[in-house]
Amino acid sequence: MDKTNIKIKRYKNQKMMCEEDVVVCEHPLTFYINHHEFITLLCTPNNLCELAFGLLYSEGFIHHKDDVLETFLDVKEGICRIMIDKDIDIINRLHGKRVRTTGCGKGTIFYRMIDKLKAKKIKTDYKINKNIIFQMSKTLNQKSHLFLETGGVHASMLVKDNKTIAFSEDVGRHNTIDKVVGQAIIQEIDLKNTALFTTGRISSEMLLKTLKAKIPIIISRSAPTDLAVQLAKEYDVTLIGFARGERMNIYHDVKRVIL
Amino acid sequence: MDKTNIKIKRYKNQKMMCEEDVVVCEHPLTFYINHHEFITLLCTPNNLCELAFGLLYSEGFIHHKDDVLETFLDVKEGICRIMIDKDIDIINRLHGKRVRTTGCGKGTIFYRMIDKLKAKKIKTDYKINKNIIFQMSKTLNQKSHLFLETGGVHASMLVKDNKTIAFSEDVGRHNTIDKVVGQAIIQEIDLKNTALFTTGRISSEMLLKTLKAKIPIIISRSAPTDLAVQLAKEYDVTLIGFARGERMNIYHDVKRVIL
């Protein structure tokens, strides 16, 4: 349940092959504490009861396992209801309501955003040559001076007409996308004819950020999640992972890659 | 400004050395749109104007750079004020107020939490042998089956009496900590005598999660941020990074490591 098999196109040894690949599952889970909606996490669906206890403990809602009176978990519906032996209202005022995902605060809003995006596929004829993908993936690593020095950041880069037009590094994966999109906005560059290169894993949020910025192609040296692949297919965003050396996995869609 | 030099203890070639190291800077930045507090990000202080434009564009607040009337950036105070040509109230109702950090929704609440934690150092005599650190770092990698298969997850592990007592994998770095803490809570294990091993980078939030769970030692194969190091020193959490093979960087504090 925490991983799933999908069909991908794998480019390796100068050949494109149809293969099966395993991607990690990313699943939204909304926590209700004493009937109050508390938080929505994007998480991997395993050890979810432990996640609930750990989250409540770390957030100061419980101090002992006996503070939890009841838990109800519906993974399919993405709901975890927890009854605790405490006045939630006081805690709510202390904490404020929060929404958390793998990388940034969206959660329930996340769904509304998907609704808003419906039928908003990016209309573009933009394509990218496989050699540019390999070359630019290398360029991204070479440009990442802050990573080379500290090891503590991610990097993103926008490519247009086979050239780097924006580059950024940040402790937050998502911030690197915002930074390069911001650079493009300031320069008034049409993002429909660009490709986004990133070092970060591609979660659903990374994919949504790409889609909302109307960038048709996202390429990472890391792995995507199943939800990101699903969204890429639904909204026709080209999603390429594990772009390293002269290899890559095309999760969707080979039509924008010139071989 | 996006990196800083700090003094660390580096263990390498069976010797402990005092050295200078470079860590990436992590800085909270609160965005106000038309005088309304919108979001607090933990980010690396470079390209902040671009970050503002990219964030507003990606969140649907602006569609063109000319929608931004004015920006005011005070990095030292961690404030970015943006005036846009739009009725913020309508957008606010659409989006809801959000707080975002590198990994989860805390932001301004984050500070209140630090306040709450004041003088709440973990009281423990727990120590860990350097050989256990090296051995358990290896164990963490070997146990990460989901990572080996998908490449898309992080893993965390709790160690007590030289044994693994909890292990988890998740798409979210922070979720892995919540999951192992949850396992410990359910088993009623005293976390003051445990060490947390993680594959994820140690940002301030990862450090705070460790501190709130009263775990005195956090060890990662990855890098910490400057803010995490600062908090580790302030609250006396032992923070070890780049634990790979027979090497490690001790950012704070060597007293809990038996050499």
Residue of chain A minimizing CA distance to B113: A95
Which residue in the set A101, A149, A178 is minimally distant from B54, CB to CB?
Answer: A178
Which pLDDT tens digit goes with each residue over B157-191?
A: 999 999 999 999 999 999 999 999 999 988 989 99
CA A225-B40-A50 angle, to 5 degrees, is: 45
Other C-beta atoms closer than 10 Å to the C-beta of A124 total 17
Fold of the domain built from segment(s) B27-118: Ubiquitin-like (UB roll) (3.10.20)
B104 is catalytic: yes
Q: What are A141-144's contacts with CB under 8 Å, separation 24+?
A: A141/A199, A141/A221, A143/A167, A144/A169, A144/A199
Segment among A207-221, A225-239, B59-73 with least mean pLDDT: B59-73
Smallest CA–CA separation between A128 and chain B, in Å?
23
Taking an 8 Å cut-off on Cβ atoms, the answer to whether B225 and A60 are in contact is no
Sign, CA torsion A48/A53/A58/A60? positive
Cβ–Cβ contact A159 with B under 8 A: no
| Greater model confidence, B95 or A178 | A178
Smallest CA–CA separation between A52 and chain B, in Å?
7
Q: Which residues of B touch A168 (CB under 8 A)?
A: 46-47, 50
Could you identify the residue written with the tokens 């998480």? Answer: A43
CATH hierarchy code of domain B128-258? 3.40.140.10
Cβ–Cβ contact B6 with A under 8 A: no
Answer whether residue B201 shows pLDDT above 60: yes
Mean pLDDT value across residues A95-108: 41
ipTM field: 0.83
Answer whether residue A258 shows pLDDT above 60: yes
Sign, CA torsion A224/A27/A168/A183? positive
Q: Which residues of B touch A66 (CB under 8 A)?
A: none
Residue of chain B minimizing CA distance to A202: B152
Percent of chain B with pLDDT over 90: 56
Which pLDDT score is estimated for B244?
93
Which pLDDT score is estimated for A63?
82
Taking an 8 Å cut-off on Cβ atoms, the answer to whether A49 and B186 are in contact is yes
Smallest CA–CA separation between A132 and chain B, in Å?
24
Pairing of strands B217-220, B195-198: parallel
Residues near A155 by beta carbon (within 8 Å), at least 6 away in sequence: A140, A143, A144, A146, A147, A167, A168, A169, A176, A198, A199
Answer whether residue A136 shows pLDDT above 50: yes
Which pLDDT tens digit goes with each residue over A217-236?
A: 999 999 999 999 999 999 99
| E strand intervals along A85-236 | 128-129, 154-160, 163-170, 195-198, 217-220
Q: How far apart are the first and last CA of chain A?
A: 35
Taking an 8 Å cut-off on Cβ atoms, the answer to whether A177 and B146 are in contact is no
Percent of chain A with pLDDT over 70: 88
**Touching A: B residues 206-245, CB under 8 Å:** 209, 212-213, 222-225, 242
Taking an 8 Å cut-off on Cβ atoms, the answer to whether A175 and B102 are in contact is yes
Residues near B101 by beta carbon (within 8 Å), at least 6 away in sequence: A104, A105, A172, B28, B40, B41, B42, B107, B110, B203, B205
Answer whether residue B249 shows pLDDT above 50: yes
Answer whether residue A244 shows pLDDT above 60: yes
Answer whether residue B11 shows pLDDT above 80: yes
Other C-beta atoms closer than 10 Å to the C-beta of B130 total 18
Instruction: Give the model's confidence band at A88: pLDDT under 50 very low, under 70 low, under 90 confident, else very high.
Output: low
Which residue in the set A52, A96, A169 is minimally distant from B44, CB to CB?
Answer: A169
Answer whether residue B106 shows pLDDT above 50: no
Which pLDDT tens digit goes with each residue over A48-79?
A: 989 999 888 877 788 888 999 999 999 888 89
Which pLDDT tens digit goes with each residue over B204-221?
A: 889 988 998 899 999 999
Which pLDDT score is estimated for A134?
96
Which helix (H) or strand (E) segment is A204 a member of? Answer: helix A204-212
**Touching A: B residues 60-89, CB under 8 Å:** 60, 62, 64-65
Instruction: Give the model's confidence band at B55: pLDDT under 50 very low, under 70 low, under 90 confident, else very high.
Output: confident
Catalytic residues of A: 104
Mean pLDDT value across residues B37-62: 86
Which pLDDT score is estimated for A57?
83
| SS3 label, residue A149 | helix
- The ranges assigned to domains in chain A are 27-118, 128-258
- Mean of per-residue pLDDT scores for chain A: 86
Which helix (H) or strand (E) segment is B83 a member of? Answer: strand B79-84
Q: Which residues of A touch B171 (CB under 8 A)?
A: 24, 26, 42-44, 102, 201, 203, 225
Instruction: Give the model's confidence band at B89: pLDDT under 50 very low, under 70 low, under 90 confident, else very high.
Output: low
